[in-house]
């Protein structure tokens, strides 16, 4: 057995990583969005929230909605970036379609 390889593998980042969290379900995404809206639009706190504190409050709200999921604030923030990017794309395409002003169409038809 090569002791050099053993020492290297013991120090590798893969050996020190925490276990991978489960994949996100559609329900998890919805609960994250609900927690984000609820926390970010809190009339008491308003926009006067520090970034880290905001995500800790979002985490607490998410845990109240989804207690069996083991997520941390970093997991939520990372997933939120993905969701936000896709929502922004959708909003842009929706605005383009709406600007065409098709006769006889309402917003539901455009979607």
pLDDT value at residue 49: 76
Q: Between 63 and 41, where is the model more confident?
A: 63
Question: What is the 3-state secondary structure of 11-40?
Answer: HCHHHHCCCCCCCCCHHHHHHHHHHHHHHH
* 78-105 tens-digit pLDDT: 999 999 999 999 999 888 888 887 777 7
41 against 14, higher pLDDT = 41
Q: What is the spatial distance between Cα 23 and Cα 17, in angstroms, rounded to a whole number?
A: 17
* Residue 77 contacts residue 55 (beta carbons within 8 Å): yes
- Output the pLDDT for position 14: 52
| Position 5 pLDDT exceeds 70 | no
């Amino acid at each position: 057995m090569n002791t050099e390889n053993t020492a290297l593998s013991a120090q590798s980042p893969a050996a020190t990583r925490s276990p991978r969290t489960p994949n996100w379900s559609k329900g998890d995404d919805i609960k994250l969005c609900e927690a984000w809206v609820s926390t970010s639009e809190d009339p008491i706190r308003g926009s006067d929230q520090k970034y880290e504190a905001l995500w800790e409050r979002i985490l607490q709200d998410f845990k109240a909605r989804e207690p069996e999921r083991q997520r941390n604030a970093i997991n939520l923030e990372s997933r939120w970036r993905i969701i936000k990017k896709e929502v922004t794309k959708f909003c842009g395409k929706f605005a383009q379609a709406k600007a065409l002003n098709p006769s006889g169409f309402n917003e539901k038809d455009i979607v």
